[in-house]
Amino acid sequence: MIELATTVEGSGPPLVLLHGITEDASFWTPVVPLLSSWATVISVDLRGHGASPDGDDYDLDAMADDVAAAIGVDEPPLVVGHSLGGLLAVVFAARHPARGVIDVDQPLALAGLQAGVQQAAPLLRGTTEQFEAFMAGLFESMKGSTPDDEAAALATRRRPRQDVVTGIWSPLLDGSPEDLAAFVERTAAAVTVPVLSLHGLDPGPDYADWLTARIPTATVEHWTDDDGADLGHHPHLRAPQRFAARVREFAATLP
Protein backbone atom coordinates (compact mmCIF):
# COMPACT_ATOMS: atom_id res chain seq x y z
CA MET A 1 0.00 0.00 0.00
CA ILE A 2 1.32 3.46 -0.94
CA GLU A 3 0.61 6.41 1.36
CA LEU A 4 -0.80 9.00 -1.01
CA ALA A 5 -0.57 12.77 -0.79
CA THR A 6 -4.06 14.21 -0.28
CA THR A 7 -5.66 17.61 0.13
CA VAL A 8 -9.01 18.10 1.88
CA GLU A 9 -11.20 21.16 1.40
CA GLY A 10 -14.78 22.02 2.28
CA SER A 11 -17.43 20.23 4.28
CA GLY A 12 -20.29 17.91 3.50
CA PRO A 13 -20.50 14.45 1.95
CA PRO A 14 -17.12 13.06 0.84
CA LEU A 15 -16.16 13.56 -2.79
CA VAL A 16 -12.88 12.15 -4.10
CA LEU A 17 -11.06 13.59 -7.14
CA LEU A 18 -8.66 11.37 -9.12
CA HIS A 19 -6.47 12.89 -11.83
CA GLY A 20 -5.27 11.52 -15.16
CA ILE A 21 -2.01 9.88 -16.16
CA THR A 22 1.08 12.19 -16.07
CA GLU A 23 -0.97 14.77 -14.13
CA ASP A 24 -1.66 15.45 -10.44
CA ALA A 25 -4.34 16.75 -8.12
CA SER A 26 -3.66 20.36 -9.13
CA PHE A 27 -5.38 19.69 -12.45
CA TRP A 28 -8.65 19.82 -10.47
CA THR A 29 -7.87 23.24 -8.96
CA PRO A 30 -10.44 25.25 -10.99
CA VAL A 31 -13.20 22.84 -9.96
CA VAL A 32 -12.47 22.37 -6.26
CA PRO A 33 -13.88 25.72 -5.00
CA LEU A 34 -17.08 25.02 -6.91
CA LEU A 35 -17.51 21.67 -5.15
CA SER A 36 -16.16 22.37 -1.66
CA SER A 37 -19.10 24.65 -0.80
CA TRP A 38 -21.28 21.54 -0.39
CA ALA A 39 -18.88 18.57 -0.24
CA THR A 40 -15.73 17.50 1.55
CA VAL A 41 -13.42 17.39 -1.46
CA ILE A 42 -10.48 15.01 -1.18
CA SER A 43 -7.95 15.51 -3.98
CA VAL A 44 -5.44 12.69 -4.37
CA ASP A 45 -2.04 12.34 -6.05
CA LEU A 46 -1.90 8.76 -7.35
CA ARG A 47 1.19 6.62 -6.81
CA GLY A 48 4.03 7.82 -9.03
CA HIS A 49 2.38 11.22 -9.54
CA GLY A 50 2.64 14.60 -7.87
CA ALA A 51 3.79 14.43 -4.26
CA SER A 52 2.98 10.74 -3.79
CA PRO A 53 5.70 8.07 -3.67
CA ASP A 54 6.43 5.66 -6.49
CA GLY A 55 5.10 2.13 -6.39
CA ASP A 56 6.87 -1.15 -6.97
CA ASP A 57 4.22 -1.67 -9.64
CA TYR A 58 1.18 0.14 -10.97
CA ASP A 59 -1.48 -2.53 -10.73
CA LEU A 60 -4.87 -0.85 -11.09
CA ASP A 61 -6.49 -2.77 -8.24
CA ALA A 62 -3.63 -1.79 -5.94
CA MET A 63 -3.88 1.85 -7.03
CA ALA A 64 -7.59 1.86 -6.19
CA ASP A 65 -6.79 0.32 -2.81
CA ASP A 66 -4.27 3.14 -2.22
CA VAL A 67 -7.11 5.62 -2.67
CA ALA A 68 -9.39 3.76 -0.29
CA ALA A 69 -6.69 3.81 2.39
CA ALA A 70 -5.86 7.49 1.79
CA ILE A 71 -9.27 9.12 1.95
CA GLY A 72 -9.90 8.27 5.60
CA VAL A 73 -13.70 8.55 5.64
CA ASP A 74 -16.31 6.18 7.04
CA GLU A 75 -19.07 7.35 4.69
CA PRO A 76 -18.92 5.95 1.14
CA PRO A 77 -17.68 8.72 -1.17
CA LEU A 78 -18.70 9.94 -4.59
CA VAL A 79 -15.59 9.18 -6.67
CA VAL A 80 -14.86 11.47 -9.61
CA GLY A 81 -11.98 10.59 -11.91
CA HIS A 82 -10.56 11.93 -15.13
CA SER A 83 -8.90 9.71 -17.76
CA LEU A 84 -6.83 7.16 -15.81
CA GLY A 85 -8.61 8.47 -12.71
CA GLY A 86 -11.95 7.68 -14.32
CA LEU A 87 -10.93 4.08 -14.83
CA LEU A 88 -9.66 3.94 -11.24
CA ALA A 89 -12.93 5.41 -9.99
CA VAL A 90 -14.75 2.46 -11.55
CA VAL A 91 -12.20 0.01 -10.15
CA PHE A 92 -12.62 1.67 -6.74
CA ALA A 93 -16.40 1.17 -6.85
CA ALA A 94 -15.89 -2.47 -7.79
CA ARG A 95 -13.69 -3.05 -4.72
CA HIS A 96 -14.83 -0.56 -2.05
CA PRO A 97 -18.01 1.12 -0.85
CA ALA A 98 -18.95 4.17 -2.94
CA ARG A 99 -22.06 6.30 -3.38
CA GLY A 100 -21.46 6.73 -7.08
CA VAL A 101 -18.88 7.28 -9.80
CA ILE A 102 -18.27 10.02 -12.34
CA ASP A 103 -15.89 8.88 -15.05
CA VAL A 104 -14.62 11.85 -17.06
CA ASP A 105 -13.52 11.03 -20.62
CA GLN A 106 -12.31 7.48 -20.11
CA PRO A 107 -14.25 4.86 -22.10
CA LEU A 108 -14.12 1.46 -20.45
CA ALA A 109 -14.10 -0.27 -23.82
CA LEU A 110 -10.31 -0.59 -23.85
CA ALA A 111 -9.71 -2.79 -26.88
CA GLY A 112 -9.05 0.13 -29.22
CA LEU A 113 -6.72 1.79 -26.73
CA GLN A 114 -4.83 -1.47 -26.31
CA ALA A 115 -4.34 -1.81 -30.06
CA GLY A 116 -2.96 1.72 -30.29
CA VAL A 117 -0.69 1.32 -27.26
CA GLN A 118 0.73 -1.97 -28.56
CA GLN A 119 1.41 -0.40 -31.94
CA ALA A 120 3.28 2.41 -30.17
CA ALA A 121 5.21 0.05 -27.87
CA PRO A 122 8.59 0.73 -29.56
CA LEU A 123 8.15 4.45 -28.82
CA LEU A 124 6.76 3.98 -25.33
CA ARG A 125 9.73 1.76 -24.45
CA GLY A 126 12.25 3.58 -26.62
CA THR A 127 14.42 6.56 -25.86
CA THR A 128 13.27 9.35 -23.58
CA GLU A 129 12.84 11.57 -26.62
CA GLN A 130 10.69 9.00 -28.41
CA PHE A 131 8.54 8.45 -25.34
CA GLU A 132 8.01 12.15 -24.67
CA ALA A 133 7.21 12.86 -28.31
CA PHE A 134 4.61 10.09 -28.34
CA MET A 135 2.94 11.35 -25.16
CA ALA A 136 2.88 14.92 -26.45
CA GLY A 137 1.30 13.75 -29.69
CA LEU A 138 -1.25 11.66 -27.83
CA PHE A 139 -2.50 14.59 -25.78
CA GLU A 140 -2.45 16.85 -28.83
CA SER A 141 -4.72 14.39 -30.61
CA MET A 142 -7.25 14.62 -27.76
CA LYS A 143 -7.53 18.39 -27.38
CA GLY A 144 -10.73 18.71 -29.41
CA SER A 145 -11.73 22.37 -29.58
CA THR A 146 -9.44 23.35 -26.70
CA PRO A 147 -7.66 26.59 -27.69
CA ASP A 148 -3.98 26.16 -28.48
CA ASP A 149 -2.85 28.33 -25.56
CA GLU A 150 -4.91 26.34 -23.06
CA ALA A 151 -3.65 23.04 -24.44
CA ALA A 152 -0.05 24.31 -24.29
CA ALA A 153 -0.49 25.44 -20.67
CA LEU A 154 -1.71 21.97 -19.69
CA ALA A 155 1.17 20.34 -21.56
CA THR A 156 3.78 22.33 -19.62
CA ARG A 157 2.34 21.04 -16.32
CA ARG A 158 2.34 17.33 -17.19
CA ARG A 159 5.12 15.10 -15.93
CA PRO A 160 5.37 12.16 -18.34
CA ARG A 161 7.51 9.57 -16.57
CA GLN A 162 8.32 6.60 -18.75
CA ASP A 163 8.46 4.04 -15.94
CA VAL A 164 5.12 5.14 -14.51
CA VAL A 165 3.28 5.29 -17.82
CA THR A 166 4.54 1.94 -19.04
CA GLY A 167 3.83 0.45 -15.62
CA ILE A 168 0.23 1.65 -15.63
CA TRP A 169 -0.19 0.59 -19.25
CA SER A 170 1.37 -2.83 -18.67
CA PRO A 171 -2.01 -4.60 -19.12
CA LEU A 172 -2.34 -2.83 -22.47
CA LEU A 173 1.25 -3.40 -23.53
CA ASP A 174 1.77 -6.95 -22.29
CA GLY A 175 -1.66 -8.46 -21.74
CA SER A 176 -3.72 -10.28 -24.30
CA PRO A 177 -7.01 -8.83 -25.58
CA GLU A 178 -8.73 -11.69 -23.77
CA ASP A 179 -7.08 -10.83 -20.45
CA LEU A 180 -7.96 -7.16 -20.82
CA ALA A 181 -11.55 -7.95 -21.73
CA ALA A 182 -11.84 -10.26 -18.74
CA PHE A 183 -10.57 -7.50 -16.42
CA VAL A 184 -13.08 -5.00 -17.84
CA GLU A 185 -15.99 -7.45 -17.63
CA ARG A 186 -15.10 -8.53 -14.09
CA THR A 187 -14.70 -4.96 -12.89
CA ALA A 188 -17.87 -3.68 -14.54
CA ALA A 189 -19.92 -6.57 -13.18
CA ALA A 190 -18.93 -5.64 -9.63
CA VAL A 191 -20.15 -2.03 -9.94
CA THR A 192 -23.69 -1.60 -8.65
CA VAL A 193 -23.77 2.13 -7.84
CA PRO A 194 -24.85 4.87 -10.28
CA VAL A 195 -22.18 5.83 -12.83
CA LEU A 196 -22.07 9.01 -14.90
CA SER A 197 -19.78 8.54 -17.90
CA LEU A 198 -19.10 12.07 -19.10
CA HIS A 199 -17.09 12.63 -22.27
CA GLY A 200 -15.48 15.61 -23.94
CA LEU A 201 -14.45 13.38 -26.84
CA ASP A 202 -17.14 11.38 -28.61
CA PRO A 203 -16.93 7.79 -27.34
CA GLY A 204 -18.79 6.55 -30.40
CA PRO A 205 -22.43 5.83 -31.26
CA ASP A 206 -22.41 2.36 -29.74
CA TYR A 207 -20.66 3.15 -26.48
CA ALA A 208 -23.74 3.94 -24.38
CA ASP A 209 -25.30 0.58 -25.27
CA TRP A 210 -21.98 -1.18 -24.66
CA LEU A 211 -21.54 0.38 -21.23
CA THR A 212 -25.11 0.00 -19.98
CA ALA A 213 -25.07 -3.66 -21.02
CA ARG A 214 -22.26 -4.09 -18.47
CA ILE A 215 -23.19 -1.45 -15.89
CA PRO A 216 -26.97 -1.00 -16.05
CA THR A 217 -26.75 1.94 -13.61
CA ALA A 218 -24.59 3.96 -16.05
CA THR A 219 -25.54 7.10 -17.96
CA VAL A 220 -23.40 8.37 -20.85
CA GLU A 221 -23.09 12.04 -21.83
CA HIS A 222 -21.03 13.65 -24.59
CA TRP A 223 -20.34 17.35 -24.17
CA THR A 224 -19.63 19.68 -27.08
CA ASP A 225 -19.04 23.39 -27.47
CA ASP A 226 -21.51 25.89 -28.94
CA ASP A 227 -20.45 24.89 -32.45
CA GLY A 228 -20.99 21.19 -31.80
CA ALA A 229 -17.28 20.37 -31.60
CA ASP A 230 -15.81 18.08 -28.97
CA LEU A 231 -14.75 19.93 -25.82
CA GLY A 232 -11.68 17.71 -25.69
CA HIS A 233 -10.14 15.43 -23.11
CA HIS A 234 -10.58 17.87 -20.19
CA PRO A 235 -14.26 18.89 -20.23
CA HIS A 236 -14.10 19.71 -16.52
CA LEU A 237 -11.50 22.38 -17.27
CA ARG A 238 -13.18 23.68 -20.41
CA ALA A 239 -16.52 24.15 -18.61
CA PRO A 240 -15.85 24.08 -14.85
CA GLN A 241 -19.09 25.77 -13.82
CA ARG A 242 -21.17 23.41 -15.94
CA PHE A 243 -19.17 20.46 -14.70
CA ALA A 244 -19.54 21.38 -11.03
CA ALA A 245 -23.26 21.88 -11.47
CA ARG A 246 -23.57 18.47 -13.11
CA VAL A 247 -21.60 16.82 -10.31
CA ARG A 248 -23.90 18.37 -7.70
CA GLU A 249 -26.98 17.38 -9.68
CA PHE A 250 -25.72 13.80 -9.95
CA ALA A 251 -24.81 13.71 -6.25
CA ALA A 252 -28.32 14.80 -5.33
CA THR A 253 -29.74 11.67 -6.98
CA LEU A 254 -27.56 9.28 -4.99
CA PRO A 255 -28.82 7.33 -2.01
pLDDT band at 238; cut points 50, 70, 90: very high
Q: What is the pLDDT of residues 2-33, one digit of tens each?
A: 999 999 999 999 999 999 999 999 999 999 99
Average pLDDT in the 175-204 region?
97
Name the percent of the chain lying above pLDDT 90.
Answer: 98
Dist CA 203 CA 180 (whole Å)? 19
Q: Is the four-CA dihedral 93, 13, 83, 212 of positive or negative sign?
A: positive
pTM of the model: 0.97
Is pLDDT of 146 > 90? yes
Is pLDDT of 181 > 90? yes
pLDDT at 72: 86
Is residue 61 within 8 A of residue 88, CB to CB? The reply is no
pLDDT at 73: 85
Average pLDDT in the 76-102 region?
98
Q: What is the pLDDT of residues 30-66, one digit of tens each?
A: 999 999 999 999 999 999 999 999 999 999 999 999 9
DSSP 200: S
Dist CA 155 CA 23 (whole Å)? 10
Residue 82 pairs in a beta bridge with 104
Q: Which residues of 94-107 are buried (b: 16+ CB within 10 A; e: fewer)?
A: bbbebbbbbbbbbb
Dist CA 84 CA 22 (whole Å)? 9
Strand residue runs (E) in 38-159: 40-44, 78-82, 100-104
